[in-house]
């Protein structure tokens, strides 16, 4: 195994652990009533965001969802600015005006989470249209959930993306549920077939296998860059927490056994860690050290964010209009 | 000076801006070879090609959403929404996405896009092709709203809209596309938030938007015959609104009527009247009067449709009564 691969693999592992660690801390902040509002945890779905975003550069764009912390971290965001944003502090990515559901990180090409289910499909496709129009070679990845496939907007923009061969990749994170409803109750037929109906090449991939996701993503991103897009990917995954942090008692819609099975047998981090060790890419000690370092980073960022100041009152009507 | 139609003025503004800035492009239904059903955009595709004058499928939320994304990443889209009535279809993209990106991102993202659409009744187009929905968007922080009242305004406001770094909605009155006005050959822009005093007067202020500027001017002519001098003001943009010019006038005349073709209730007239009542109260001899379109879906029958919009005669009559000291209120 070449050195580049080793570095790529370790970075992917690191990014997945960073997401999980970020979410554990965010959940704790919510449970201890330190975080205003509520939030949707990405834990369990790390391989999706990391596998895809590791195939992108900073000039490539993504659009994200209400369950967006994972995308944000995977696209290169820093813990401090993220926790500050979650706590509504002035040093947050959006100066505390967006919060968990609107976190955006322009500097790394993250056009933002979106609290309207499916709301960013037009934005992602428009970003791709701009790339084509202005002769730029970046690719846009549009993240959305299985539930969002019920929005008509998706079919409008996929039609246009296919007609105009836009460099956009539609990434459907199928975690089996939209809120408290099973996907098979809200989605008729096959999700990938819907994209195929527009002549869009569609793939289904194990969203718990970061290498599988990344291999597919690298191929599709390279081809989209050459003008062979758009593409559609359905990533089979699972969210470990409730729909949002307050969704604690959920046996009425999914069983504890089901959750246990995904966590114990298909966890993307545990699986990839075993792979790294068995392939001799990292030792258990090295991995433990990396985990500890990430935990320390997160703890430092949380402590920083807790102490950070809120935005001053005169910012309330700032940023309504751009100059 | 040369005279051109409002339609030509819009076309010229867009062509000039597309020549100036390669990031400007047009998209909408039948905007290319057809040049829109109103032929406003004829000739643009011949000059700029189909890459920059893009015919879309009939997917309003889709292409407005795409304009938002293109704008957020460095392009400057002009979206053609064939009828103002279709704004209901794009409310999420316009009001939840475009309007809020700059604020939600703490000032990091911008959405420099123009949504050009139309308004105006009495074209016998019935309830779903006749509405004047400017109040709906003027209500949403983050959007700017322009209402050209002639070819001159249409050109100058369009050029400003295209250069603005915010989402701007321009409502053109579809009955005015063939109306001519003097438009200079030389380039000019009309800044947003600058009202235009169309006619000076000392007895009453008539504030009209878009087509209602013509109604107010005709009413002023009728009033002049009775010896009443009406001042006519066109705010030109609803957001931002040039309150100062309106207030200065009303403080002088002590009476005002606000005329707009949107429904009267919860509308543009209500907002402007309320600001004048609050800020010029001690200068007023009568409450500021609202005159909007009747609160009914626009009927098809000409016999009924014509009853729903303000007319010069109606405005003049209300003005006479106000100036005569009567305490009248909106219908
Ligand atoms: C237009 C819209 N309708 C409903 C909601 C409420 N809502 C928030 S998340 C959600 C479920 C989304 O499911 P999915 O797309 O599968 O994403 P997941 O939460 O599973 O990641 C719903 C219904 C919303 N935010 N926006
Ligand atoms: Mg889901």
Q: Which residue ranges form the domains of chain B, and what is each CATH number?
A: 3-182 (3.40.50.970), 196-323 (3.40.50.920)
What is the CB neighbour count within 10 angstroms for residue A14?
16
Q: What is the ipTM of this complex?
A: 0.96
Above 90 in pLDDT, residue A176? Answer: yes
The secondary element (H helix, E strand) that includes residue B232 is strand B230-234
Interface contact B119, partner A, CB < 8 A: no
Above 60 in pLDDT, residue A4? Answer: yes
Taking the CA atoms of A193, A194, A198 and A202 in sequence, report the sign of the dihedral they define.
Answer: negative
B194 catalytic? Reply is: no
Determine whether the interchain pair A153/B65 forms a contact, defined as Cβ–Cβ distance below 8 Å.
yes
A178: Cβ below 6 Å to ligand 1? yes
Task: Output the CA B123–ligand 1 centroid distance in Å.
Answer: 42
Establish how many alpha carbons lie within 13 A of residue B105's alpha carbon, considering only the half-sphere containing its beta carbon. 25
Determine whether the interchain pair B67/A126 forms a contact, defined as Cβ–Cβ distance below 8 Å.
yes
For B61, the closest chain A residue by CA position comes to: A153
Residue (of B113, B120, B73) closest to B93 by Cα position: B113
Q: In whole angstroms, give the CA distance from residue A55 to residue B3.
A: 57
A90 close to A121: Cβ distance less than 8 angstroms: no
For B22, the closest chain A residue by CA position comes to: A134
The CATH number of the domain holding residue A67 is: 3.40.50.970
Q: List the single residue in B23, B72, B112 with the smallest CB-CB distance to A134.
A: B23
H-type helices in A114-250, by residue range? 121-133, 152-164, 183-186, 191-196, 210-225
Distance from CA of A151 to the nearest CA of B (A): 11
Determine whether the interchain pair B110/A321 forms a contact, defined as Cβ–Cβ distance below 8 Å.
no
The pLDDT, as a whole number, for residue B308 is 97
pLDDT (mean) for A53-62 = 98
Within a domain: A317? no
The pLDDT, as a whole number, for residue B246 is 98
- When computed from its CA atoms, the radius of gyration of chain B, rounded to whole angstroms, is 20
Partners of A323 on chain B (C-beta within 8 Å) are 165
Interface contact B167, partner A, CB < 8 A: no
A180: Cβ below 6 Å to ligand 1? no
Within a domain: A298? no
**Which two tokens mark B282?**
């001690």
In a 3-state reduction of DSSP, which class is residue B168? strand
Q: What share of chain A in percent tops pLDDT 70?
A: 99
Task: Output the CA A143–ligand 2 centroid distance in Å.
Answer: 11
A232: Cβ below 6 Å to ligand 1? no
* Domain that includes residue A128, residue range: 37-77+99-280
Instruction: Tell me the pLDDT band of A3, cut-offs 50, 70 and 90.
Output: low
Within a domain: A295? no
A147: Cβ below 6 Å to ligand 1? yes
Interface contact B63, partner A, CB < 8 A: yes
Measured in degrees and rounded to the nearest 5, phi and psi for residue A174 equal -90, 100
Q: What is the pTM of this model?
A: 0.97
B129 catalytic? Reply is: yes
Partners of A95 on chain B (C-beta within 8 Å) are 106-107
A146: Cβ below 6 Å to ligand 1? yes
Determine whether the interchain pair B104/A96 forms a contact, defined as Cβ–Cβ distance below 8 Å.
no
Ligand 1 atom at shortest distance from the alpha carbon of A118: 1
Ligand nearest to the CA of A149: 1
Q: What is the DSSP string of B54-109?
A: EE--S-HHHHHHHHHHHHHTT-EEEEE-S-GGGGGGGHIIIIIIITTHHHHTTT--
Within a domain: A184? yes
Contacts of A256 (CB under 8 A, 6+ apart): none
Within a domain: A287? no
Determine whether B203 is exposed, middle or buried from the number of CB atoms within 10 Å of its CB (0-12, 13-18, 19+): middle
State the 10-residue block means of pLDDT for chain B, 331 residues long: 97 98 98 94 97 98 98 98 98 98 98 98 95 98 98 98 98 97 98 98 98 98 97 98 98 98 98 98 96 97 97 97 85 69
User: Where does residue A96 fall: left (phi above 0), alpha (psi -120 to 50 degrees), or beta otherwise?
Assistant: left
Number of domains in chain A: 1
CB–CB contacts below 8 A, A to B: 149
Determine whether A225 is exposed, middle or buried from the number of CB atoms within 10 Å of its CB (0-12, 13-18, 19+): middle
Residue bearing tokens 């991102």: B105
Within a domain: A87? no
- Catalytic residue chosen out of the listed positions B60, B217, B271, B305: B60
The pLDDT, as a whole number, for residue B6 is 98
Within a domain: A182? yes
A45: Cβ below 6 Å to ligand 1? no
Q: Which of B57, B58, B66 should be substituted to probe chain A, the one whose Cβ sees the most A Cβ atoms within 10 Å? A: B66
pLDDT (mean) for A62-76 = 98
CA distances from residue B321 to A86, B255, B285, B289, B315 in whole angstroms, order as listed: 58, 11, 12, 11, 10
Within a domain: A91? no
Residue (of A221, A204, A205) closest to A213 by Cα position: A205
Contacts of B163 (CB under 8 A, 6+ apart): B17, B189
Determine whether the interchain pair B108/A93 forms a contact, defined as Cβ–Cβ distance below 8 Å.
yes
Interface contact B103, partner A, CB < 8 A: yes
The pLDDT, as a whole number, for residue A1 is 45
Residue (of B152, B146, B260) closest to B193 by Cα position: B146
Q: Which of B29, B70, B191 should be substituted to probe chain A, the one whose Cβ sees the most A Cβ atoms within 10 Å? A: B70
- When computed from its CA atoms, the radius of gyration of chain A, rounded to whole angstroms, is 19
A175: Cβ below 6 Å to ligand 1? yes
The pLDDT, as a whole number, for residue B231 is 98
Residue (of B290, B289, B309, B291) closest to B299 by Cα position: B309
**Which two tokens mark A166?**
């836009």
Q: In whole angstroms, give the CA distance from residue B134 to residue B170.
A: 9
For B73, the closest chain A residue by CA position comes to: A127
Q: In whole angstroms, give the CA distance from residue B148 to residue B7.
A: 11
Residue bearing tokens 């609803």: B238
pLDDT (mean) for A268-288 = 97
């Amino acid at each position: 195994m070449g050195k580049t691969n080793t570095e790529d693999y370790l970075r992917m592992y690191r990014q997945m652990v960073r997401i999980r660690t970020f979410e554990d801390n965010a959940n704790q902040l919510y449970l201890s009533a330190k975080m205003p509002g509520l939030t949707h945890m990405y834990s369990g779905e790390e391989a999706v965001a990391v596998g895809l975003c590791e195939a992108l550069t900073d000039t490539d764009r993504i659009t994200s969802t209400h369950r967006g912390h994972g995308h944000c971290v995977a696209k290169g965001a820093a813990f401090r600015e993220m926790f500050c944003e979650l706590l509504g502090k002035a040093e947050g990515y959006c100066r505390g005006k967006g919060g968990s559901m609107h976190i955006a990180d322009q500097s790394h090409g993250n056009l933002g989470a979106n609290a309207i289910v499916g709301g960013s499909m037009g934005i992602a496709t428009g970003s791709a249209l701009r790339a084509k129009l202005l002769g730029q070679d970046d690719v846009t990845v549009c993240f959305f959930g299985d539930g969002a496939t019920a929005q008509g907007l998706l079919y409008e923009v996929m039609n246009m993306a296919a007609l105009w061969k836009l460099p956009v990749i539609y990434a459907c994170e199928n975690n089996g549920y939209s809120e408290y409803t099973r996907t098979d109750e809200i989605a008729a037929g096959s999700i990938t077939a819907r994209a195929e109906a527009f002549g869009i090449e569609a793939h289904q991939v194990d969203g718990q296998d970061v290498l599988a996701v990344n291999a597919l993503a690298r191929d599709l991103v390279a081809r989209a860059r050459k003008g062979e897009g758009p593409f559609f990917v359905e990533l089979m995954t699972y969210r470990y927490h409730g729909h949002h942090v307050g969704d604690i008692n959920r046996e009425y819609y999914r069983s504890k056994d089901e959750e246990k099975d995904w966590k114990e047998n298909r966890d993307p981090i545990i699986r990839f860690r075993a792979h790294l060790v068995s392939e001799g890419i990292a030792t258990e000690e090295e991995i433990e050290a990396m985990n500890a370092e990430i935990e320390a980073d997160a703890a430092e960022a949380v402590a920083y964010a807790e102490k950070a100041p809120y935005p001053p009152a005169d910012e309330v009507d700032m940023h309504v209009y751009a100059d | 000076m040369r005279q051109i139609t409002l339609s030509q003025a819009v076309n010229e503004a867009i062509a000039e801006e597309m020549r100036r800035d390669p990031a400007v492009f047009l998209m909408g239904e039948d905007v290319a070879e057809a040049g829109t059903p109103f032929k406003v955009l004829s000739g643009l595709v011949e000059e700029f090609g189909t890459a920059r004058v893009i015919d879309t499928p009939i997917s309003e939320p889709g292409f407005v959403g795409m304009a938002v994304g293109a704008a957020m990443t460095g392009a400057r889209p002009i979206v053609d929404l064939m009828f103002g009535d279709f704004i209901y279809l794009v409310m999420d993209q316009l009001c939840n996405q475009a309007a809020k990106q700059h604020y939600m991102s703490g000032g990091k993202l911008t959405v420099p896009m123009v949504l050009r659409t139309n308004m105006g009744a009495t074209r016998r187009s019935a309830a779903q092709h006749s509405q004047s929905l400017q109040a709906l968007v003027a209500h949403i922080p983050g959007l700017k709203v322009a209402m050209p009242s002639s070819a001159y305004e249409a050109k100058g406001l369009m050029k400003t809209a295209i250069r603005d770094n915010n989402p701007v909605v321009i409502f053109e009155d579809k009955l005015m596309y063939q109306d001519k006005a003097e438009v200079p050959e030389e380039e000019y822009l009309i800044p947003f938030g600058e009202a235009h005093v169309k006619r000076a007067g000392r007895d009453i202020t008539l504030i009209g938007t878009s087509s209602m500027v013509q109604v107010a001017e005709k009413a002023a002519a009728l009033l002049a015959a009775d010896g009443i001098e009406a001042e006519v003001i066109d705010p030109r943009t609803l957001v931002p609104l040039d309150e100062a010019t309106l207030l200065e006038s009303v403080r002088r005349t002590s009476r005002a009527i606000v005329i707009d073709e949107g429904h009267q209730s919860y509308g543009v007239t209500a907002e402007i009247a309320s600001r004048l009542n609050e800020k010029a109260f001690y200068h007023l001899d009568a409450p500021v009067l609202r005159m909007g379109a009747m609160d009914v879906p626009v009927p098809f029958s000409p016999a009924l449709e014509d009853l729903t919009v303000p007319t010069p005669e109606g405005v003049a009559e209300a003005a006479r009564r106000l100036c005569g000291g009567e305490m009248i209120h909106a219908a």
